[in-house]
Amino acid sequence: MSEPDREPTEKPTTDREEAEREGRWMARNWIAIAVVSILAALLLAVGLLQATGLVDLFAPVVGTEGQQWGVFAILAVVVIAIAGWSWSAIVG
């Protein structure tokens, strides 16, 4: 039997306040993961529609195709930053 299997890393919660605190923490983390996942899926859909030429979503804002992809890249960086921020709160 390996060392981690001998003793669990977390002890069961016996205190009601601690259980409620852990429940709120878990709910907040799952909401953060859901929001980042939804934003990433929307960004992927917009990118695929943009790549196939079905939409020019950023055309009113910028003129050339390169500038449109630049706006898309900025949005991708924003989603990655939000994901990093939310996941650092989960881990930390």
What pLDDT digit, counting tens, does each position of 4-22 carry?
566 666 777 778 888 888 8
Band of pLDDT at residue 45, cut at 50, 70 and 90 = very high
Q: Could you give the CA distance from residue 51 to residue 28 in angstroms, rounded to a whole number? A: 34
Two structure tokens written together for 25: 């923490």
- pLDDT above 70 covers a percentage of the chain that reads 84
Find the Cα–Cα–Cα–Cα dihedral 15, 19, 22, 23, rounded to 10°.
-170
Q: Could you give the CA distance from residue 15 to residue 23 in angstroms, rounded to a whole number? A: 12
Which pLDDT score, from 0 to 100, does residue 20 have?
86
pTM for this prediction: 0.67
